[in-house]
Amino acid sequence: MTRTLKTQVCIIGAGPSGLLLSQLLANAGIDTIVLDRKDRAYIEGRIRAGVLEQGTVTALEEAGVAGRLHREGLPHDGFELAFDGQRHRIDLKRLTGKSVMVYGQTEVTKDLFDKRFEEGQAFHFDVEDVTLDGLKSGVPQVRFTKDGEAVEVTCDYIAGCDGYHGVSRRAIPADVLKTYERVYPFGWLGILVDQPPVNHELIYANHARGFALASMRSATRSRYYVQCDLTDRVEDWSDARFWEEFATRLGPETAADLKTGPSFEKSIAPLRSFVAEPMRYGALFLAGDAAHIVPPTGAKGLNAAVADVRLLARAFTAHYEGNDARLEAYSAQALARVWQCERFSWQLSMLMHQFPEDGAFAKQMQRADFAYLVSSESASRSIAENYVGLPLE
């Protein structure tokens, strides 16, 4: 026996993209069902990015979940790039009139969950065997099993917010879907530590031994990274080894202010650039990591996903008001912005990392790029404009 449900938009994925979309649609009076293969505790516990563009903050304000963000988030008016010990500050506020906000993605997810549960959102967690059917039929369905029971959701549209490994993108026929990918020959080893950050703003450092990033989650919790080999394992990196390497890459002047301590989270993330086109197939619309992945260097992952969701929420709202122009334009409009995010993340990654295959010429090109950035306000402004986020449309 199959249980049948009906909604206007079925959202696959209860991460920040799916949660934000459901909230923005709820604000517009559009009914949704949200399903995920994991439970709330697992989703909230995932450690992710923490730099929010102004457009992302605006989206959370529109969703009605920005109260804690404004109380606890850390506004940043700039960040620093360091190359072989030389530091150059990108003054975001002066160059663009905008800032970014440091506030962990984990906290964004918690805030959205609290709001959606408060408003009675229909969730289905721990689902299995998710399939999408009828994407071109005008009567799409999402089928899954929950605790052994078969469930079918009939809807007007499906939003695939289920990440890179989700089922949504795979529902697009292979002769329609095009993918583009660049896999980087290194990873990032990241730790969380309950110590004040070494600097009040982020520092991206290119050292002869590899990249390092000094970031934070709050005034008392720091998030630090070092570039590592893809063959490395977390067990290879004791806290002592990490601190020694991190301090070396920051340089003695910066490291003099570094407060070390035991890490309470440690993980290695590979770096890749990935884009899938189109982001619409019939009644299915992709958003976030289901359609694109960026290296974390440019702080674009969550922000690019939120930009997708804002476009998609506006498109669905306009549709139910009788105008389909935004739905028709969604894929092309979203992809135009995605490729700009990919370009910026690639540019910053190429500038700030040590590539094992690079010879002396490539390293000199990196030095020349950094020297130009230091000497040219226009070059710094270009970095700043992309970092704070390009206009949505």
Which of these is catalytic: 103, 184, 224, 387? 387
Q: Let me know if residue 91 belongs to a domain.
A: no
pLDDT tens column, 46-91:
877 789 999 999 999 999 999 999 999 999 999 999 998 899 999 9
pLDDT tens column, 243-266:
999 999 999 999 999 999 999 999
Which of these is catalytic: 16, 76, 224, 278? 76
Contact criterion met (CB below 8 Å) for 113 and 236: no
pLDDT at 33: 98
pLDDT tens column, 147-204:
999 999 999 999 999 999 999 999 999 999 999 999 999 999 999 999 999 999 999 9
Q: Let me know if residue 260 belongs to a domain.
A: no
Which domain does 116 fall in, by range? 2-78+97-181+272-349
Which of these is catalytic: 204, 225, 281, 330? 204
Q: Let me know if residue 190 belongs to a domain.
A: no
Q: Let me know if residue 55 belongs to a domain.
A: yes
Instruction: Give the predicted TM-score (pTM) of the model.
Output: 0.95
Average pLDDT of 222-227? 97
Q: Let me know if residue 200 belongs to a domain.
A: no
What is the distance between the alpha carbons of residues 149 and 144, in angstroms, rounded to a whole number?
A: 8
What is the distance between the alpha carbons of residues 284 and 336, in angstroms, rounded to a whole number?
A: 19
What is the distance between the alpha carbons of residues 214 and 200, in angstroms, rounded to a whole number?
A: 10
- 103 counts as catalytic: no
Which of these is catalytic: 16, 197, 296, 319? 296
- 204 counts as catalytic: yes
pLDDT at 48: 76
- 93 counts as catalytic: no
pLDDT at 392: 81
pLDDT at 6: 98
Q: Let me know if residue 35 belongs to a domain.
A: yes
What are the two backbone dihedrals, phi and then psi, of residue 379, each rounded to the nearest 5 degrees? Answer: -65, -40
Q: Specify the CATH number for the domain of residue 167.
A: 3.50.50.60
Q: Is the pLDDT of residue 101 over 90?
A: yes
The total number of structural domains in the chain stands at: 1
- 76 counts as catalytic: yes
Q: Let me know if residue 359 belongs to a domain.
A: no
pLDDT tens column, 289-299:
999 999 999 99
pLDDT at 1: 84
- 200 counts as catalytic: no
Rg (CA), the chain: 22
What is the distance between the alpha carbons of residues 171 and 330, in angstroms, rounded to a whole number?
A: 18
| CA quadruple 346, 347, 351, 357: dihedral, nearest 10 | 50
Which of these is catalytic: 110, 115, 207, 300? 300
Average pLDDT of 210-232? 95
Q: Is the pLDDT of residue 393 over 80?
A: no
Q: Let me know if residue 364 belongs to a domain.
A: no
